[in-house]
Amino acid sequence: MGKTKKYCYGFCLLISVAVNILFSINLYVGGDKRQVISNQSTLTWSEKAAEEAEAVAGIYCSGHGRAYLDGLISQGQPVCECFDCYAGSDCSELSPGCAADADSGDPVFFEPFWMQHATDSAVVISGWHRMSYRYADGTTMSKELENYIRKLHSVVGNAVTEGRYIVFGIGSTQLLNAAVYALSSENSSSPSNVLASIPFYPMYKAQTVFFNSKDFQFEGDTNSWQSNNQTNKMDVIEFVTSPNNPDGELKKPVLGGKTIYDHAYFWPHFTPIKGPSDHDLMIFTLSKLTGHAGTRFGWAIIKDKDIYDKVLNYISVADLGISKDTQLRVLKLIKVAVEGDGMPLFEFSYNKMKDRWDRLTSVFSKSTKFSIQQRHPLYCNFFNETRLPSPAYAWVKCEREEDHDCSAVLKAGKIIGRNGSLFSADDRYTRLSLIKSQDDFELLLKRLTELI
């Protein structure tokens, strides 16, 4: 019995020690987890919102749609919003005869980049974030964001910001009109003449005509104006869009008067960066830099204090500044944009655009009915090599004499472009957007191949 008892003690101890060792291993391996616990359990008020956002991001839409936090709700959760030509609750159904819509300049081709950089680009906004009209310095603009915008231009080398003022606007859109007001005559009896060179972005005309101010009037094309007006003494405000929308040309001023440089597309993915732009009034937009068109954020870089004050005043009278939520998000996005001296973002975006242009050029090269704009190689100081531009839009010309309405010809081939006349050019031209989603581009290429 004594011996049995002794064996029992021994055996039990063995088992007990073994159990201890197992627990110890668990405790050790669990050590990291415990570390994780103590980090994670510090999340309190933000956790629910984070879970909601991740749950919505995890809704399956077949890669042909997205669900969003503010999407319409069905059965308690947001539904998939399908891309063009896709349908069904999970966006898996392709509509076979669907037209390729290449109309809008929606820069959704950036989306995969932001999904790849989800961690660094997410932002949490607390319920009490920046409730005031103003930041601590009394302005309506985030100084930290301004610093990052300056850093961005320094990294990319596309604009001089030293000694210049920066004003934020609701997209570059608002700043275009703010700039016209700031530069225009204060003498209503001789309003300033606003002009641009054909083909030009329709918004210049639309805004100037819409606001119908006594201080300025839209006078159309710079070249016609120059040939009709012998005197250069007249008060002109010229929009110089470089690269140009629609055709990607690096434009220069024609009239030599007051000039607004619209640099929306002056980024390495669309054009080689020869060097920093150094003008009195330059306008940029987040939309064509990072793809966040929905975020409505742009900025003007201004040399003259008086013009700066006038643009600031415009923003203040128009809407008391830019939403603080938007400014916080833009700060996050630009922080990611300048990571690695901009290389991850611009390599991604340039490669996308180059691939699209390579494939597009190959299709158009087979055609005598259609042509697209010529592209000329330039040395890019950002990428340190000579590259072809890869503009945001193809500027298509219908070459056959009978094809006066190029949009109609394309439409018959199930391709939706934007009429040349919208850009004050001939309808023999049509703009095709190359910056939409991959699905959109693939369908465009398919329809073009069928047509050509």
Q: Which parts of 161-180 interact with its own copies (CB under 8 A)?
A: 169-171, 173-174, 177
Nearer residue to its own copies within complex by CB, 274 or 332: 332
Report the C-alpha gap between 51 and 44 in whole angstroms.
12
- Please tell me what DSSP assigns to residue 451: H
Does position 245 interact with its own copies (CB under 8 A)? The reply is no
Taking CB under 8 A as the criterion, which residues in 212-231 touch its own copies?
212-215
Residue 317 binds to its own copies (criterion: CB under 8 A): yes
Q: Which of 46, 362 has the CB closer to its own copies?
A: 46
3-class SS at 195?
strand
The tally of CA atoms less than 13 A away on the side-chain side of residue 63 is: 4
Of the pair 45, 401, the CB lying nearest its own copies is at 45
Q: Which of residues 265-284 bind its own copies (CB under 8 A)?
A: none
- Selected binder of its own copies within 155, 206, 338, 451 (CB under 8 A): 206
324 near its own copies, judged by CB under 8 A: yes
Q: Is 336 in the site for its own copies (CB under 8 A)?
A: yes
Interface with its own copies, residue 43, by CB under 8 A = yes
Smallest distance from its own copies to CB 165, Å:
19
Phi, psi of 42 (to 5 degrees): -75, -20
Q: Which long-range contacts (CB under 8 A, 24 or more apart) does 354-363 make?
A: 354/388, 354/390, 356/109, 356/390, 356/434, 356/441, 357/388, 357/390, 357/434, 359/445, 360/394, 360/434, 360/445, 360/448, 363/445, 363/448, 363/449, 363/452
> If binding is defined by CB under 8 A, does position 419 make contact with its own copies?
no
**DSSP structural state of residue 159:** B
The Cα 81–Cα 98 span in angstroms is 17
| Span near its own copies by CB under 8 A; candidates 156-164, 249-257, 332-340, 348-356 | 332-340
Closest by CA to 406, choosing from 427, 385, 431, 424, is 427
Q: Is 72 in the site for its own copies (CB under 8 A)?
A: yes
188 binds its own copies (CB under 8 A): yes
What is d(CA 145, CA 4) in angstroms, rounded to the nearest whole number? 79
Judged by beta carbon, residue 70 or residue 402, the one nearer its own copies is 70
- Over 54-96, what HEC string results? HHHHCCCCCCCEECCCCCCEECCEECCEECCCEECCCCCEECC
What's the closest the beta carbon of residue 190 comes to its own copies, in angstroms? 14
Q: Residue 24 is which amino acid?
A: S
* Residues numbered 111-170 forming contacts with its own copies, rule: CB under 8 A: 111, 114-115, 117-136, 142-145, 169-170
Q: What SS3 state is found at 134?
A: coil
Please name the residue that has the structure tokens 């391709």: 415
Using the rule CB under 8 A, which residue among 62, 92, 154, 207 binds its own copies? 207
According to CB under 8 A, which one of 74, 232, 313, 365 is a site residue for its own copies?
313
CA 208 vs CA 171, 193, 211, 234, 354: distances in Å = 17, 10, 6, 18, 35
User: In the complex, what is the shortest distance from the CB of residue 389 to its own copies, in angstroms, rounded to a whole number?
Assistant: 23
x/- map, 281-310, its own copies, by CB under 8 A: ----------xxxxxxx-------------
Closest distance between its own copies and the C-beta of residue 47, in Å? 7
Which of 89, 92, 104, 367 is in the footprint of its own copies by CB under 8 A? 104
- Candidates 23-31, 223-231, 385-393, 418-426; binding stretch for its own copies (CB under 8 A): 23-31
Write the CB contacts of 343 (distance below 8 Å, at least 6 apart in sequence).
none
Cβ–Cβ < 8 Å for 169, 155? no
Binding residue for its own copies, selected from 158, 197, 245, 326, defined by CB under 8 A:
326
Q: Would you call 110 helix, strand, or coil by DSSP?
A: helix
Is position 1 an interface residue for its own copies (rule: CB under 8 A)?
Answer: no
In DSSP terms, 166 is beta-bridged to 301
103 binds its own copies (CB under 8 A): no
Q: Does 17 bind its own copies (CB under 8 A)?
A: yes
Note whether 29 binds its own copies by CB under 8 A. no
Which member of 196, 254, 333, 422 binds its own copies (CB under 8 A)? 333
One of 4, 28, 29, 70 touching its own copies (CB under 8 A): 70
Residue 25 found at the interface with its own copies (CB under 8 A): no
Q: Could you tell me the smallest distance in angstroms from the CB atom of residue 145 to its own copies?
A: 7
